[in-house]
Amino acid sequence: MSALPEEYGRRMKRLLGAEYEAYLASMERGARTAFRINTAKVSRGQWEKINPFQTAAPVLWSSKGFYYDSAIDAPSKHPYYYAGLYYIQEPSAMIPAEILPVQPGQRLLDLCAAPGGKATELGARLGRDGFLLANDISVSRCRALAKNLQMAGIYNSAVTAESPEHLAEVFGGFFDGILVDAPCSGEGMFRREPRMIQNWLEKGPSYYAPLQKEILGQAYRMLKPGGSMVYSTCTFSVEENEEVIQWFFKNYPDMELCPVERKAGFSEGRPELTDGGTEELRHCIRIYPHRAEGEGHFAALLKKKAAGRLPPGSGGEAQGRQKDSLPAKEIHRFCKRQAGEFPEIEQMLLGLPLPAGYLEWKDDRLRWLPDEVKKMSGLRLAAAGLPICERKRKVQWSKELALSVPPEYLGGAIDFSVNDGRVIRYLKGETLQTESRKKGMLLISVDGYGLGWCQGNGSGMLKNKYYPGWRYQ
């Protein structure tokens, strides 16, 4: 562990008092590793039946999180990881998406979403009849964000690389729920990522606090009356946490701070360290590494007061919405016009569980898109919806389709047991020999969960079509 800056030490002594030495001792212990199961694909009960990791133990503040011992188990090397059954995530980082109220059918925004840990959990909780916009201002970071959503099978979503201000111009009063995991000085990550210490010396809390206030202000513009917002950071700084929340209430008086169910490891906010902070700031959540099995974190649940009757589609009405599907007659008209020479495309589309939205051909690629994407003209759109196929001389089904839709909707699969060595060989891009005598593009799955495609020649030899950029290393 690198030496902590003197000024940082003085701040932490003021924050922790007699517990400061216990905090220092915790910095010498190894950081905990964890993963969160993806309930868009596998339920908690199903996971308990197939869980292959002998060291898995529940994360106390997450209904889906498990610690593991990286010296014994390697979740990033397991086929279930490639099937998108879980996401490897720092334990404390599971809290913000856990405490944001989510109901199926809502429209959600993860404003600072990369690399996607919180966005994938929001998408899993949302279900197929809502919409998630995952944004990050960095185009390069959006690539990882899009990949993680695709592997998780969260296709009723879009990924943008935009400033909060530009998004607010398009989505005023649009979202039922917003998560703001704000850029911060990273004090809570010093143990896991010592390089953050240099960043703190170069910038520190005084650099980030004005940026956090600006982001929160733009998020407010996009939140519906009656909607909920979570503000979170991975820092201990009162200047970036309680004082930012205090500033927010002063400038946006129709916002209120909501109590959050206290769980093991949660500490309360610190109003006594602010200038005139009110007792309600104790509703905030703090995580300290000497009190909990996770890195430093802060989170606050906020709500915009409803002005009279909630508008249609707001959080108060979302639970009662009907799950509409893309009409078969619309699919037929679209295919007759765009894909008449490829009848297998219409056959595939009619069998998919596609929510209401629309189909689009672009550059010989077909994808399903949520209706919300129609609002995004002029935005930097990094990914959206569900890519279905590419139309060349023959139809090539997409990697996203294999990971997003259960095999029974895709005509079945050549299914391997997780212990079959051919699974890893497939993920490495190798040709496989099987008993299958089928021809054409065939789905490969592991224990019933889709991985990708292969090309059958009728002799049992399967040409590998697994996406090269995602291969097992």
* 60: CB partners within 8 A, 6+ apart: 263, 264, 265, 293
Which residue among 112, 184, 234, 284 is the active-site one?
Answer: 234
Detail the DSSP E strand segments found in 279-335. 285-287, 297-304
CA pair distance 12, 227, nearest whole angstrom: 34
Detail the DSSP E strand segments found in 74-145. 86-88, 107-110, 131-135
User: Among all chains, which residue has been given the structure tokens 């592991």?
Assistant: 446
Q: How far is CA 225 from CA 213, 257, 302, 468, in A?
A: 20, 14, 12, 45
Residues recorded for the chain = 473
CB 93 within 8 A of CB 114: no
Q: What do you get for the CA distance between the two ends of the chain, in Å?
A: 29
Residue type for 74, please?
Answer: A
CA pair distance 181, 119, nearest whole angstrom: 11
Q: Which of 126, 144, 28, 135 is nearest to 88 (CA)?
A: 144
* 349: CB partners within 8 A, 6+ apart: 331, 335, 359, 388
DSSP code per residue over 132-171: EEEE-S-HHHHHHHHHHHHHHT--SEEEE---HHHHHHH-
Residue type for 103, please?
Answer: Q
184 is catalytic: no
Helix extents (H) in 223-260? 242-251
Pairing of strands 439-446, 414-416: parallel
CA pair distance 139, 165, nearest whole angstrom: 16
CB 303 within 8 A of CB 256: yes
Catalytic residue numbers read 234
